[in-house]
Amino acid sequence: MGKRNVTTRQLESLVQLTNTVYRRATQADPDRRDEWRVWRDDLVTRIHAVVKPSARPYAGRVVAEVAGAFGERLVDALTDLEAMRSQLGETSEEIAQHRARAERLKAEGAALREEIARLRARQARRPHTREVTIPARTVAVRSELQEEILRLMGAEGLGRSWRIRQRVVEAGLVGNPRSVRNALRKLSQRGLIDDYRRHGEPVRWSPTPGGSRRLLVLTEVGKAWYREAFGEEPVESEIAVVARKHRSVAHGVGVLEARDHLRAAGYEVDEEPEAILARVGERWGRRAEPDLVVMIEREVWPVEVQREVSERVLGKWAKTLRLVGRLALVLFNEQGRAKQERLLGQAMRTGRLARGSVLLTSLEAMERGEWRWSRVGGIGHR
């Protein structure tokens, strides 16, 4: 017997038969009406999901589910109808019609299985694809690279595009960061990820003036894909977290970058430090609230990440120096570090700033991988 295509008319016949079974079953057993309705709605939804499967290389699983589910449930339904024949008062002619239709459905089921085998053979020749059905659409992620990007964003909340590129390259999935950029662009075009936005406008970030790096988040479609693909809820984006915790998104992302660079250099970093109190137990007294705390040569150093250089912040640094006697500053770029170093030196010489040890570096230097602390007062450290 040759292969047969499943037509829309045949699918509609399945729907009609399902509704017939539902009506007769609820007449015989009204107390189970809700249970029968759930059975009918689920089966009709599965049938309607199959539309011209031969034109959709990812429809094989949907067809398989419909064929299997319909076959199993049809047998159960016909068994129930046979038992209720005396109650419903069906004639032998009606029963014969049902049986004849069941035979036709068996033949159509065989055609469906042949179609499934053909679609699976075609799918086996296609590149890696993970397909997920979410309300009103089916989304297929067609490469391990795209899947890993979505996993990093959903499982770890990673949102800095340059860090996503770094992680994927380090994992060995690609050798060229440009491939990751292309994958990010495709995921954006398909609505799975988007730029982090404030007031409807994309927010960009860079440690140096004029730079523009993307900050990314999963869209609602992307979150739905992650739930279905990995069976868990995606974590909150790191960009959304720092936007809530810090005075600006730019500052918050700078704190994330300082944390990662310090850890890469071998430092022990506390990214959620408690406030430093002038007196233990006096939570409403004088205090310092650093962005990070780092261990340098067995000493605890408060770390402040600074984007803008201004004399207005000298009061804040003075408070930390009075409480702890030391402070580490991470500026965004080398120009800012040099300017801040001059201001601190002048303030210490004129007595406007308590004497202590201040270490300075910049995110720009950290990114180059060849950096060291410069110092104002005290003893310098590498």
As a whole number of Å, the end-to-end CA separation of the chain is 79
- Bridge partners of 287, per DSSP, are 277
Q: What is the pLDDT of residue 99?
A: 77
Crossing angle of helices 220-230 and 144-155, in 10° steps, is: 100
Residues 180 and 15: their CA atoms lie apart, in Å, by 45
Q: Quick check: 55 pLDDT over 50? A: no
* Structure-model confidence comparison of residues 221 and 57, the more confident one: 221
Look up the CATH architecture of domain 249-376: 3-Layer(aba) Sandwich (3.40)
Q: Which amino acid is at 33?
A: R
Report residue 259 as tokens: 């944390």
Give me the pLDDT at residue 285, please.
Answer: 53
Classified as helix, coil or strand, 260 is: helix
What is the reported pLDDT for 147?
94
Residue whose tokens read 């089921």: 109
Q: Which of 83-87, 213-217, 227-231, 244-248 has the highest mean pLDDT?
A: 213-217
Q: In this predicted structure, what is the pLDDT of residue 37?
A: 79
Cβ proximity of 53 and 62 under 8 Å: yes
| Cβ-contact 13, 47 below 8 angstroms | no
| Residues pairing with 358 in the sheet | 327, 376
Q: Where are the domains of the chain?
A: 8-126, 137-244, 249-376
DSSP one-letter string for 97-129: HHHHHHHHHHHHHHHHHHHHHHHHHHHHTSPP-
Q: How many CB atoms lie within 10 A of CB 302?
A: 22
What is residue 265's three-state secondary structure?
A: coil
**What is d(CA 150, CA 157) in angstroms, rounded to the nearest whole number?**
10
**Mean pLDDT across 174-199:** 93
Q: Give residue-wise pLDDT tens across range 231-244.
A: 999 999 999 999 99
Residue 289 to residue 273: CA distance in whole angstroms: 8
Q: Does 321 have pLDDT greater than 70? A: yes
Q: Please report the pLDDT score of residue 382 as a whole number.
A: 41
Q: What is the CATH number of domain 137-244?
A: 1.10.10.10
- What integer pLDDT is reported at residue 103 of this predicted model? 80
Q: Check if 137-244 and 249-376 are the same fold.
A: no
Strand ranges (E), 44-158? 130-134, 137-141
According to the model, what pLDDT value does residue 52 have? Answer: 44
- pLDDT higher at 336 or 26: 336
| pLDDT confidence bin for 195, thresholds 50/70/90 | very high
Give the residue, 286 or 13, on which the prediction is more confident: 13
DSSP assignment letter at 59? T
Token reading at 21 = 């079974």
| pLDDT for the residue numbered 75 | 55
In this prediction, residue 213 carries a pLDDT of: 95
**pLDDT for res 358:** 95
- Rounded to the nearest integer, the mean pLDDT of the chain is 81
Per-residue pLDDT reduced to its tens digit, 114-136: 777 776 666 555 545 566 655 54
Nearest Cα to 3, choosing from 49, 53, 48?
53
Is residue 56 predicted with pLDDT exceeding 50?
A: no
Across residues 326-336, what is the average pLDDT? 96
Distance CA 330, CA 342 (A): 15
Sign of CA dihedral 74, 75, 76, 78: positive
Ranges 192-196, 292-296, 354-358: which has the least confidence: 354-358
CA–CA separation, 150 and 231 (whole Å): 13
* Whether residue 83 has pLDDT greater than 60: no
pLDDT-based confidence at residue 43 (cuts at 50, 70, 90): confident
Under the banding of pLDDT at 50, 70 and 90, the label for residue 275 is confident
In this prediction, residue 223 carries a pLDDT of 96
pLDDT at 371 over 80: yes
- Rounded to whole angstroms, the Cα distance separating 229 from 238 reads 21
Nearest alpha-carbon partner for 251 in 182, 318, 303, 305? 305
